[in-house]
Chains A and B, each alone.
Chain A
Amino acid sequence: MTTTTNDAMPPPKAAAAKRALSETQENASERPEQSKRARLRRPHLPPPPSIAPHPLGIRPLGNLPFAKQEPGFVDTRASGLGTRTFARLDDEFVLAFVVNYLDPRSLCALAGTSRAWMAFWEYDEIWKGWVLEHWRDQPTKPKRFAASTGLWRHTYAMAVRPTYHPKPWTPVHAHHMHSDLLYQAHLNAVTPLAHAVATLDALTDMGVFRRLDTVDRPTADQFRARYEEPSVPVVLRGCMTTWSALRDWEWTKLEAAAGQVPLRAEAIDMTLSEYLAYLRTAPPDEAPVYLFDKDYPRQGEAGAKLAAAFAVPEYFTADLFSVLGPTRPDFSWLIIGPERSGSSHHKDPNLTAAWNAVVRGKKLWVMYPPDLVPPGVYPSDDGAEVTTPNSVSEWFRTWLPLTRQLVKGVPREGRPLWGICGEGEIMFVPHGYASTFFLYIDVNTETLVVCLDGGTPSSTSSHRSR
């Protein structure tokens, strides 16, 4: 439904579009930064990718005025929710009502009432919230996922009815149901990540974005002078060669060695084995659950072995925080997630810089310099709270292209950066940079991404305080 807004641009050039898409497969750092070809060509944003229809046939609100004119149109939402009651409230309110005031049983009684209520009952994000809440309230309970169907609704049923066995569910069609709220989750879940990369490529051609620098094993002095002190983000290559993690962290080996280690996923803990069961369902979530754990080194022998499989890169070992002893901010994080999981825009707290190493898979990074606020991101006055779209997918689809307007008048050095960090590469994020990332995989060879992340105070680099 969303269309590109390039009314002033000439008709798409097929060659340019093909080139932008084919280069998503190549390693980012091999491309030349700018070329004469780029200046001669008129770049444009890639067209919206074709999207599979919503499984229930739900369409965005923008289609409603046209649908109303078609013969046989029935206002499913109005008659289904109640013309005197819930149809008068907007989708967000109805959703908040269902989530906050109904319990799962009441929602189930609604499911067979009408197509409109069925559409809300079927919205898996509701059930995901209830599952996570249930697990948070009963932390010692084992976590079992509905492996055969991948539906959170089934996972919830399994959690409350131990004898329940999920069976495949063929969705009942919700004719003429139009809802942005219900449609967006589907759109964000199925928009291919290659589209985000193609958009970034095009924006780079337009000069809106710059590619992240890469460097091969700089000396400590070179690193300090060229990157740390001037606060320049960079992808470091060749700095993980001694890490046994690169060799040993294959999935079967990892599960055998550390399957019982409890790891944190948002507000709940689950063992690595339980998490891998979730991943094997190839979660169709808009924003899949990912592990982000700092306590693994202290989880017995298995945890200690994980911690021993890597070493803090030499550039970051001058650890000024160590004077704080046990009160120092947490410093080493293990991140595991499937494709499409990731973090929305954030700045590292504690004025630290960060290094982030990819052990398996790839990571797509987008960074905005300290004084450029990304579109769609609304920080509070002190920067402690940030309002962003619900999922990273949504940000890439809706807000990323608006960077074109944002950078007008901004000199080249102040423009945002992006790049893809592959296996064996380390991302250096200087403090003050707002970054967002997608865990991104090559679907033919990878199933998921593993990274290690650490924070380090910048010892000598200057920074602008706000």
Chain B
Amino acid sequence: MTTDPNKKTIKLRTSDDKLVTADLALVSYSSLIRNILGDCSDIPDELPVANVTASVLEKVLEYLEHHHKLGDLPTPEQEEAVLREEELDDGAQYARIERLRQSVLSDWDCSFLLNGMPSDQGIDQHHTVDLMLAANFLDIRPLLALGTKAMAAEMDKCKTAAEVRSKFGLKKDLTDEQEAEIMKEFAWADYRP
């Protein structure tokens, strides 16, 4: 433990037992870490993040650093205000989700999720889900929303069951007859409202 008021970084011990040094300003975007630190009288030298590996954590920090510089992440006070509003008003929650659905991913975010794969692949799905699980655990809502939206966008590109299977690497465990039955059952869905 240290009482050094100028301390700007903290070490995080990941699930694969590595130590990652991070800026306090960045990790404060995680509600989980913010709440833990709020319960401590002094800032500890080391904090465990039991559900995140080092490589994923570094990617999370990369995301936070970029958006922190852009200034487009909500502050803790803003997040609290939104949560309180949504508790009282379902409409506010629907409105927020609708805004998310309509929003467009920035170029930086797209290439962040692509993670070095060729761009015709869409996103690196495994990596995106890694980020979603980490964001869920650390409670970083914008990152969770980003991942979810990207997965939804990938899904929306698929028009048929076969396309979904090939895009997401799913096993076809229905017989052809069963698949045909199900297709008949939702043929109405090809509507234009």
Q: How large is the interface on B (under 10, 10 to 19, 20 to 34, 35 or more residues)?
A: 35 or more
A109: CB under 8 A from chain B?
yes
Q: In the docked arrangement, what's the CA distance between A105 and B152, Å?
A: 12
Identify 6 residue pairs between A and B in the complex whose beta-carbon atoms are under 8 Å apart, listed by A's number.
A79-B171, A97-B152, A109-B161, A109-B163, A110-B164, A172-B178
Q: How far is the CA of A112 from the CA of B184 in the complex (A)?
A: 10
* A interface list, Cβ under 8 A from B: 74, 76, 79-86, 88-89, 93, 97, 100-102, 104-106, 108-115, 117-118, 121, 157, 160-161, 164, 169-170, 172, 175, 385
Extra A-B contacts (16), CB below 8 Å, given A101-B149, A121-B186, A160-B191: A84-B169, A93-B136, A101-B100, A102-B155, A102-B156, A106-B158, A108-B186, A110-B155, A111-B185, A112-B161, A113-B165, A113-B170, A114-B171, A115-B173, A118-B182, A172-B174
Could you say which residues of chain A place their CB within 8 Å of the CB of B178? 172
B151 and A97 contacting across the interface, CB-CB below 8 Å = yes
| Residue in A108, A109, A114, A169 whose CB lies within 8 Å of B170 | A114
> B168 contacts the other chain (Cβ, under 8 Å)?
yes
Other-chain contact of A82, B148, B168, B183, B188 (Cβ < 8 Å): B168
B contact residues around A121 at 8 Å (CB): 186
Q: Which residues of B contact A157 (CB under 8 A)?
A: 188-189
Q: Decide if A106 touches B126 in the complex (CB within 8 Å).
A: no
Q: Which residues of A contact B155 (CB under 8 A)?
A: 102, 106, 109-110
CA of A86 to CA of B136 in the docked complex: distance in angstroms? 14
Q: Is B31 an interface residue (CB 8 A)?
A: no
Evaluate contact between B170 and A111: CB separation under 8 angstroms: no
Residues of B near A108 (CB, < 8 A) are: 186, 189
- With CB as the reference atom, state the residue of chain B lying closest to A97: B148
Cβ of B12 within 8 Å of any chain A Cβ, yes or no, is no
> In the complex, what residue of chain B is closest to A93 when comparing beta carbons?
B136
Residues in A neighbouring B172, C-beta threshold 8 A = 113-114
Once the chains bind, are A85 and B125 in contact (CB under 8 Å)?
Answer: yes
> Closest Cβ of chain A: how far from B88's Cβ, in Å?
8
B37 sits at the interface (CB 8 A): no
B31: shortest Cβ distance to chain A, in Å?
17
